[in-house]
């Protein structure tokens, strides 16, 4: 009959340390972590839970708004969206990490996504892949759409301009680089017609299927240029062009933005994009994509004599 070997003093101490002392510490530390996670001040409590996501359908509009430093504008934006002649099915809010206190808008919006990272403008476009409607619309936080904006976008698509639609379009200069001096939309040319442009900003409207092209290639820079990247990727990989729907001088009811909204001058009311000069970066992006084969609208007009409308 074999005898169980006795542990040496060293083994006995090691065993006691691992099973008794360290085991007790792990239990206590684990409990401490759980208590920390359970602290109310570290939890996010929404006033309202979202409904179950609806099945995908071949119609309808989902809007994605953003919250960063100017979330105070959200109630007015949401009210304006609910009052559209063709209202959206749902309104979602993407909330980037900010130094300001988080505002709970779950009782106003249909869905709220809160991030503890600042994904800048990319987060909202990534989130849009989850919408269940045919169309998706985006608005910067200082943009207030007028009552017939969605109606105008749908009429524009029905007229044969099924592309990346926007409220503030830029026609790039033929000589290269980035400049927004030649613009169309609420803050540019007020045309009665649809205007072909190279990129759009402030407000976007598109068939959700167009959005996939944005992710076919990684952006050249993550700091800025999402509008440039979206329009070029859609054109390059899907032959999807970019347009500004009509913004008639004497009919602001179909404009993408009320001109005076969110334009208060003040440190916390200035868009993040305006606190730093991104023109050199945007010029780098434009020149890189033109070298890649991007034929911009002004060059097309020179070749065929068209007006771009």
**pLDDT, tens digit, 9 for 90 and up, residues 56-87:** 899 999 999 988 777 788 999 999 999 999 99
- Residue 139: its H or E element: strand 135-139
Q: What is the pLDDT of residue 309?
A: 46
Q: What is the pLDDT of residue 12?
A: 61
Domains of the chain and any CATH numbers: 61-304 (3.90.550.10)
Q: Work out whether strand 199-207 and strand 164-170 pair parallel, antiparallel, or are unpaired.
A: antiparallel
Q: What is the pLDDT of residue 37?
A: 41
Q: What is the pLDDT of residue 102?
A: 66
Q: What is the pLDDT of residue 2?
A: 47
Cα 211 from Cα 265, distance rounded (Å): 33
Q: What averages of pLDDT result for each successive group of 10 residues across the chain (309 residues)? A: 56 61 54 45 76 92 87 90 98 79 80 76 87 96 96 98 98 94 97 98 97 95 91 98 98 96 59 68 96 93 57
Q: What is the pLDDT of residue 34?
A: 44
- C-beta separation of 45 from 120 below 8 A: no
How many helices, marked H, and strands, marked E, lie in the chain?
Answer: 8, 9
Cα 112 from Cα 13, distance rounded (Å): 54
179: helix, coil or strand? coil
Task: Express each pLDDT in 267-304 by its tens digit.
Answer: 445 555 455 778 999 999 999 999 999 999 998 876 66
Cα 54 from Cα 42, distance rounded (Å): 31
Cβ contacts of 71-75, under 8 Å, gap ≥ 24 = 71/95, 71/100, 71/103, 71/105, 71/141, 72/103, 73/141, 73/142, 73/144, 73/261, 73/262, 74/103, 74/105, 74/108, 74/109, 74/141, 75/105, 75/108
Cα 217 from Cα 228, distance rounded (Å): 13
Cα 271 from Cα 205, distance rounded (Å): 21
Q: What is the pLDDT of residue 36?
A: 43
């Amino acid at each position: 009959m074999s005898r169980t070997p006795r542990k040496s003093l060293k083994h006995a101490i090691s065993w006691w340390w691992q099973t008794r002392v360290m085991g007790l510490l792990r239990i206590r530390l684990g409990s401490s972590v759980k208590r920390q996670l359970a602290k109310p001040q570290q939890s996010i409590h929404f006033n309202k839970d979202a409904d179950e996501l609806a099945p995908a359908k071949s119609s309808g509009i989902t809007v994605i708004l953003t919250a960063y430093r100017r979330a105070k504008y959200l109630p007015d934006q949401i009210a304006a969206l609910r009052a559209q002649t063709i209202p959206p099915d749902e309104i979602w809010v993407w909330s980037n990490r900010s130094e300001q206190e988080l505002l709970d808008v779950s009782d106003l919006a249909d869905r709220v996504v809160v991030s503890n990272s600042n994904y800048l403008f990319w987060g909202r476009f990534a989130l849009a892949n989850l919408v269940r409607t045919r169309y998706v619309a985006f608005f910067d936080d200082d943009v207030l759409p007028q009552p017939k904006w969605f109606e105008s976008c749908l009429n524009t698509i029905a007229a044969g301009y099924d592309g990346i639609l926007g409220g503030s379009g830029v026609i790039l200069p033929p000589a290269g680089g980035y400049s927004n001096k030649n613009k169309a939309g609420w803050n540019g040319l007020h045309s009665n017609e649809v205007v072909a442009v190279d990129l759009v900003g402030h407000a976007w409207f598109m068939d959700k299927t167009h959005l996939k092209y944005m992710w076919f290639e990684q952006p050249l820079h993550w700091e800025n240029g999402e509008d440039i990247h979206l329009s070029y990727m859609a054109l390059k990989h899907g032959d999807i062009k970019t347009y500004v729907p009509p913004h008639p001088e004497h009919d602001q009811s179909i404009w993408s933005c009320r001109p005076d909204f969110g334009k208060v001058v003040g440190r916390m009311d200035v868009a993040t994009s305006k606190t730093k000069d991104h023109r050199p970066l945007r010029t780098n992006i434009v020149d890189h994509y033109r070298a890649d084969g991007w034929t911009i609208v002004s060059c097309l007009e020179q070749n065929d004599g068209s007006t771009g409308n």
